[in-house]
Amino acid sequence: MTVCLQPDVIFVRAEVLSAHLSAINPSESPTLMSQKIYLAGKLVSKEQAVVSVYDHGLLYGDGIFEGIRVYSKKVFRMKDHIDRLYESALAIRLTIPLTPAEMTRALEETVAANNIVDGYVRLVVTRGAGSLGLDIRRTSNPQVIIIADSISLYPEELYEKGMEIITASTIRNHPGAVSPRIKSLNYLNNILAKIEGTDADCQEALMLNHLGHVAECTGDNIFIVKNGVLKTPPTDAGILEGITRNVVLELAAAEGIPVQETTLIRHDIYVADECFLTGSAAEVIPVNKLDGRVIGGGSPGPITKQLRARFQKYVREA
């Protein structure tokens, strides 16, 4: 992150390019050099996308975001994501400077400007610039930032064979402190648990809630299958109500698979027949081990495969 000083204004440059990349010939890397970011009501180059270092999104993680998939140039579950964004804003008393309809148009324009066919959108709203203090009354000009790019969260082999996860000692935020249903810019709780996972050479980590019940993973919701019944923690377990989670629940019901939103403990996952995770970036990915214990047969089970295939079909049809 580079700090750039300009007359009367201090900015943080939102690019992470190394200095030597500045010499790249644009014709050799057209995607890199032509990426457009939506910021402050207009599309600007990646190099021009800057926000104030006094923005409370930077200083305190005071803001919200959505991670959204694009399939065949269509934004997936647009309304669901926009609705959740505005619900998060309402919960933290953040006034978004665009109406939902304007936000939808801005998102679509950003996807089109970057020629995204199959990709990912990060939609961010910050509290805006203020003073070095917590008082939101001293902030102004909330920033809407839309980034459209490609994404590959996990290696393809993990989707075929399953991934191993561990249980993090870092628990999910207490719902009486910061509600996990708010998709805020303050992801330190998840990051600390993610560090535990990567330290154990795992791509993901399971998080429990303050009661010791299964909540979710650092960036994904979790499902198990036991005796043909699909189970997942309820929203009051301290989880983000995932868009992909809800789609999978709908698809399972349509496929005639019994579904339960119920309290789970680690034992339920250890003895499950199948386990998988869901998320906008991850989509549907099987889990074959938790804390070194093999789940089911140690490879993706039939219901996991069925729902993953159904999901892949659905996103192309929706």
Give the active site residues: 183
The SS3 assignment for 209 reads coil
Alpha carbon distance 148, 57 (integer Å): 20
The SS3 assignment for 107 reads helix
Contact present, 297 and 303 (Cβ < 8 Å)? no
Residue 126's CB is within 10 A of a number of other CB atoms, namely 26
Residue 251's CB is within 10 A of a number of other CB atoms, namely 18
Contact present, 244 and 278 (Cβ < 8 Å)? yes
Q: Tokens in use for 293?
A: 């214990």
Alpha carbon distance 174, 90 (integer Å): 19
Residue given tokens 């019901």 in the structure block: 253
Alpha carbon distance 58, 138 (integer Å): 15
The widest CA-to-CA distance across the chain, in whole angstroms, is 66
